[in-house]
Amino acid sequence: MRIALDHVSAEPLSDQLSTALARRIHRGSLAPGARLPTVRALAEELELAPNTVAKAYRALEREGLIEGRGRRGSFVADRLPTRPSEAETLLGDAARAFVARARQLRAPDAAAMRAVRRAQRSRD
């Protein structure tokens, strides 16, 4: 499975991986019921730590995009959750960019959240 990851990005590799897999699932290039590579196999292929891949798989499970079937492996969910609207998708992209910038600035989570609340209150 070819997936391009940016090893110098502030975005964690597990997040990049889960985003890339989610895109493939939504586009249909990973079809419902398709078996995903094992954590170990994908980790080797992408030269990642197995825990990084496992974290990405857990995030996809929480989103309802994949399901673990014990020893049989992980599979794309047969029924996908309702896709977010374009506005929600764009808002999520903006939020990820904000979080990445906050991490670059080494801002604590609480400070980043205060900045969001201040921005929401401003009428500019």
Q: Distance between alpha carbon 79 and the CA centroid of its chain, in Å?
A: 19
Q: For residue range 71-105, what is the model confidence (pLDDT) as tens digits?
A: 899 999 998 887 778 899 899 999 999 999 999 99
The answer to whether 112 touches 71, Cβ cutoff 8 Å, is: no
DSSP structure class, residue 81:
P
Q: Is 59 found in the same domain as 32?
A: yes
- 47 falls within a domain: yes
pLDDT of 124 > 70? The answer is: no
Q: Is 62 found in the same domain as 24?
A: yes
Cα–Cα distances in Å, from 24 out to 17, 71, 75?
Answer: 11, 24, 13
Q: Is 93 found in the same domain as 70?
A: no
Could you list the residue range(s) of the whole structural domain that residue 38 is in?
13-76
pLDDT of 33 > 70? The answer is: yes
Q: Is 58 found in the same domain as 96?
A: no
CA distance 2 to 45: 9
**How many domains would you assign to the chain?**
2
Q: For residue range 62-76, what is the model confidence (pLDDT) as tens digits?
A: 999 999 998 899 999
Q: Which residue, 4, 82, 108, 105, is CA-closest to 46?
A: 4
Give residue 61's pLDDT. Answer: 96
